[in-house]
Amino acid sequence: MTASAEVTNNLTTEPYRSRRNHWNNQVRRHAMMTPDKTAITYLDKHTTWKELDDRSHAFGAALHRRGVRFGDRVLMALLNRTEYIEAILGATLIGAIPVPVNIRMSPAEVAYLVTDSGARVVVTEKLLAPLADAVSTSTGEIDTIIVVDGSDNDAHLDFEDLLAEDGSDLPEIDVPEETVAAIMYTSGTTGKPKGAMLTHQNFQAQAVTTMATTNGQSDDVASIVPPLFHIAGIGGFAPIFYRGVRAVLHPLGAFDPDTMLDTLEREGVTSVFMVPAQWQAVSAAQKARPRNLKLRTMSWGAAPASDTVLNAMNESFPGASNMTAFGQTEMSPVTTILEGKDALRKLGSIGKVVPAVTARIVDPLMNDVKPGEVGEIVYRGPNMMIGYWNKPEATAEAFRGGWFHSGDLVREDEEGFLYVVDRAKDMIISGGENIYCAEVENVLYGHPSVAEAAVIGRADEKWGEVPVAVVVLADGVDDLTLAEMEPYLNENLARFKHPKDIVIIDELPRNAGGKVVKPRLREAYGSKDAGLSD
């Protein structure tokens, strides 16, 4: 049987297909064993496991009826909502590949994802439908736009109308664990995003990793705060599907700590992951007006947390274990965990490698470094991506020497705890978002007033880091402000990637090889003392 084989739904094939260890079979299992138990709570809407299974099956059948087949890509341009999960499950049920899109991207960035992935179907919602229409027009590659909350455009298909169709004609499709379950795009140092191909096996490894490092209980209620287009969001559902516990999915938008705490209290949430900036706000709000919470695990990651934030978390939620999760999209994502008992004792550490992962710390020649020395951490394991979509050279580079190269430079202390000391890749982490300097620089170089550009990070109290543009002006240009560049940046770059300051200099410092010496720029313009222009 080939990976894409469609098999007849009968007693001889169903037992074989049900052995597949992936989230579609797990959802089906919970739908049969605990059909009336709530699977997802979103705002005031409660979806049972039976409803989740039925609706995802109906959507998969609707896609299949419209020609979507095994391996076809389906773009997901949605805010957090239950239909997002239903659409992902429906697509993977037939072996299609969801491609989550960061909804903060510009039309040009989304158009690149459409062209690169070859997606011809987009699932979106009314708020983002204009973006889907613009990308469809600019690329000419979108055949079908499906809107989950209705649309005034007759060319769009309505999600609920599709689910109302008869789905009994869907053949049983065998989806092996090595099938790609999602293409998660991550910005690259070359300036173009790369699509990490994550398989069902990868997500199962993530589920096992989470269960092995947390003290799960039968009455757990997990809270999903990150966007589902981030690996922290969709990856957070992997253990939920496996265990069959209830998920409380939070809407996207302006983060309000009081609303968050009220939800945690009302829904009896026992575990939640947030970025440090969110934890800082939530801790202050809890101290100002304490809620009666059932929180047992609070985890954080995606950006560094200061000792002030960690102490505030421990003081505000004394009954909860404080855990650090570290990793990256290509690893599905968690590779190391710092347990709560070590959070303050090992301040600044990313913890120890999780059970499912094999790791080494190596020099540029792939020799293991001595304990205490700095090297790049490289990985192997079942949660490691199978490669980058359509980018064999980037894949070969990432796996050189037979290991996945993280780009993170770390050191290991005498107890085996790891510390990140630098990033081999030129990247800024701002509010949990990865911003690759080369991507921003490529956009800046396209502005007619810019002759040369270099982007660096500057420490920021709220966001951790923010990008700063250091530019040399083109001949005949006397001045340039962020306000003047804003329309151009809006068109070509997601808002969170915009430089928050612009520094104009006569010449970029370069070494003998012609490479920009960024340490010199960071020393001169990377501190708060340099000031922001807006």
C-alpha distance from residue 315 to each of 225, 282, 374, 385 (Å): 22, 12, 34, 38
Q: Using pLDDT thresholds of 50, 70 and 90, give the confidence band for residue 214.
A: confident
Asked whether the beta carbons of 186 and 434 are under 8 A apart, the reply is: yes
Q: What is the pLDDT of residues 120-143, one digit of tens each?
A: 999 999 999 999 999 999 999 999
In terms of Cα–Cα distance, which of 507, 509, 521 is closest to 469? 521
Determine the straight-line distance between the first and last CA of the chain, rounded to whole angstroms: 60
Residue 533's pLDDT is what? 39
Residue 8's pLDDT is what? 45
CA atoms within 13 A on the CB side of 367: 4
Quick one: how far is CA 214 from the chain centroid? 21
Q: How far apart are CA 374 and CA 348, in angstroms?
A: 15
Residue 12's pLDDT is what? 44
pLDDT of residue 66 exceeding 50, the answer is: yes
Q: What is the pLDDT of residues 19-65, one digit of tens each?
A: 899 999 999 999 999 999 999 999 989 999 999 999 999 999 999 99
pLDDT of residue 512 exceeding 80, the answer is: no
Least trusted range by pLDDT, from 80-94, 111-125, 321-335 = 321-335
Q: How far apart are CA 154 and CA 167, in angstroms?
A: 23
**pTM, two decimal places:** 0.83
The helix-helix angle for 23-33 and 82-93 (nearest 10°) equals 110
Residue 6's pLDDT is what? 53
Structural domains of the chain sorted by starting position, each given as residue range(s) with its CATH number in brackets? 6-176 (3.40.50.980), 200-423 (3.40.50.12780), 427-530 (3.30.300.30)
Average of per-residue pLDDT across 376-384: 96
Q: Using pLDDT thresholds of 50, 70 and 90, give the confidence band for residue 381.
A: very high
Average of per-residue pLDDT across 389-405: 96
Residue 531's pLDDT is what? 41
- Mean of the per-residue pLDDT values for the chain? 90
C-alpha torsion angle, residues 509, 514, 517, 518 (rounded to 10): 100
Residue 511's pLDDT is what? 60
Average of per-residue pLDDT across 239-252: 96
Least trusted range by pLDDT, from 132-136, 146-150, 291-295, 474-478 = 474-478
Q: How far apart are CA 33 and CA 447, in angstroms?
A: 59
